[in-house]
Chain A
């Protein structure tokens, strides 16, 4: 199975400051169709996960442009340019290239 490793697992942030989460996979996530199926999700307490970013860097509709995704191969990053209060919660990376699909452990973002 492809192991997804996120860091840090806990990220206290100051409002208005940037934040960054790393996600590394144990195998390349480049699919045979040429796409890299690395996705990012945000989950607030008591809510379902919501997709933020798909295929490394594509932001979903309605997702603020302060969120950005980057990376390639086995090394990926989610960045928040200026953290806002609504950004708290748990962020997960997930790979959709290999079976079984696997998620990172999750990174908890809260406000200092």
Chain B
């Protein structure tokens, strides 16, 4: 069974940093492209970032470019999202998702709250 376990969310002050993780199991992580998607409270889904299976290519939404960094560790089947210079607009539930074209499986999400 495919499982994606998101973690690392929490309360952070504006301007602060946070690192999210997604632990994958039940599929061959090293050959799967991966994505992060977020959902602000009461709002719709917003794609954030994606990474190719090897990690050689990464993609970002304009809203996070230069502040967020996606990475992966294929030896540990783990996807990460380093988030810097956070603002209130980044408050959301963050989901990791398998694939970058069809988003076949999703994690349970981890809540990031940016507030003083």
Contacts and interface: CB of A to CB of B under 8 A. Distances in A.
Interface residues of B, number: 23
Contacts of A105: 44
Contact of B103 (A51, A99, A102, A106): A51
A12 to B, nearest CB: 19
B61 A54 contact: no
A9 B100 CA distance: 25
Contacts of B45: 41, 43, 49, 92, 94, 103, 106
Interface string B44-57: 11110010000000
Given A92-B45, A105-B44, A100 B101 contact: no
Given A101-B35, A101-B47, A103-B46, A50 B106 contact: yes
A49 B103 CA distance: 10
Given A49-B45, A94-B45, A101 B50 contact: yes
Contact of B44 (A31, A99, A101, A103): A103
Contacts of B105: 51
A48 interface: yes
B102 A39 contact: yes
Task: Decide if the interface of chain B is mainly helix, strand, loop or mixed.
Answer: loop
A79 interface: no
A96 B105 CA distance: 14
User: Which interface residue of B45, B60, B61 has the most chain A CB atoms within 10 A?
Assistant: B45
Contacts of A55: 102
A74 interface: no
Interface string B102-114: 1111111100000
The 3 closest A-B pairs by CB, nearest first: A96-B101, A101-B47, A54-B102
Interface of B: 35, 37, 44-47, 50, 59-62, 95, 99-109
9 contacts: A39-B102, A48-B95, A54-B102, A92-B44, A94-B45, A96-B99, A100-B59, A100-B62, A103-B44
